[in-house]
Amino acid sequence: MIERYSNEKITKIWSDEYRFKKMLDVELAVCKVLSEEGIIPKRDLSNIEKKAKFNVKRIKEIEKKTKHDVASFVKDVASSCGKSGKYIHLGLTSSDILDTALALQLKESSDILIDDLKVLIKTLKKKAKRYKNTLCIGRTHGMHAEPTTFGLKMALFFDEAGRNLKRLEDAKRNVSVGKISGSVGTFSHLGPSIQDKVMRILKLNSAPISTQIIQRDNHAQFVVTLALIGSSLEKIAKEIRSLQRTEISEVEEYFSKGQKGSSSMPHKRNPVRSERICGLARVLRGYAQDALENVALWHERDISHSSVERIILPDSTILLDYMLNEINEIIEHLVVYPENMRRNIEKTKGLIFSQRIMLYLIENKGLSREQAYKIVQESAFESFNRDIPYKEALLKNKRLLKYLKPEELDDFFDYKYYLRNVDKIFRRVGIS
């Protein structure tokens, strides 16, 4: 189901054809190094490099009998090389090939996801700059708090996406690791220098120590990173969903010509794409749990991780690729309603300026915080309960008027006060 939404570039990486191709790349790299070491005759290496190939259909036919995918792969490849085929898989164990090939797949998948993230970061930066000073209400607990700007919301997401990019680049490095250390990681048949040379050919890091497998904390970090990125995308999508509610109506997913929001209600325009992002983020978090469960295996290795990874690694990378492209398109075409933001910010009739008045009383009139809070809150509650402008309620507060002249109140109801550090915040996150 995921694949029909995703680009072919990343789904191809996880196809059987491509997986076997990477496995063959590992086998050929080993043969090349063994030839350089004088273990495989150059004539046989030349023959292997010219003739080595595989047939996915034939491998699957062999596997019906062997019940072992790598053994079936090796048999098929070796048969294509004639007598030289005896050197295929020399001194190796299955996981030498599987884990190293998997590292190649994960590295390539990471490159695609990194590119996706960079595109999203660019889009968020563009939107942040565009709406840098577009005033809107900031909400805490879902309630009106104090003024902010829509550009600051985008800048916040931009900054978080940058952190996720660093996390993904780090996870890519840690998962781009191969090994040729044998059945329990002791290099008993091929020495460490062989592994190092093979990894240089494949452009992978060489595991300093391993068992029969690369240790799964590397893979767990990778999948957890994908889940964390997914959660960040959910954070953006959830904000869009909330702001699109009829009662708020500050932003809206682009609604294309011919699109339908409901089979029964023609007026509906729903944030379905953002909702989809939120749902899929849950799937990624589930995969992260599976990856963590794979870390602890029996002794030098059991196979309980393998079946799990054959689902979660392709799915999580393909899924995040889809989510990144989807959220980028949502933000790129997001419909923003500044006039509704302005309307909403004025809904509380000035209550959002309460903290500024309280702080002035503390800093300039000698009141304790408790005294100032009580005076300001008293007028705030009257404004809310009687549905009158906050300034009107303040002007009726005799306790307040002991410290403030009526004409002084105007200075506190100024939105510009809340925008005075926006430029500084933008510079701090690297948006100029």
Query: Catalytic annotation on 262?
Result: yes
For residue 141, give Cα distances in angstroms to 138, 144, 210. 10, 8, 49
Cα–Cα distance, 14 to 119 (Å, whole number): 23
Query: Catalytic annotation on 189?
Result: no
Which member of 141, 256, 299, 432 is catalytic? 141
Q: Strands, E, within 195-311: which ranges?
A: 205-206, 251-252
204, 105 Cβ separation under 8 angstroms: no
Pull the structure tokens for residue 101: 């090939």
Containing 159, the helix (H) or strand (E) segment is: helix 150-175
Strand partners, 178: 206
Which member of 46, 193, 262, 304 is catalytic? 262
Pull the structure tokens for residue 120: 């999203």
155, 429 Cβ separation under 8 angstroms: yes
- Candidates 324, 99, 86, 326; CA nearest to 204 is 99
369 phi, psi to nearest 5 deg: -60, -40
SS3 37: coil
Q: What is the DSSP string of 298-326?
A: STT--SHHHHHHHHHHHHHHHHHHHHHHH
Looking up tokens 């490095």 gives 173
- Which amino acid would we find at residue 12? K
Neighbours of 432 (CB within 10 A): 7
- Which amino acid would we find at residue 146? E
Q: Which residues are marked as active site?
A: 141, 262
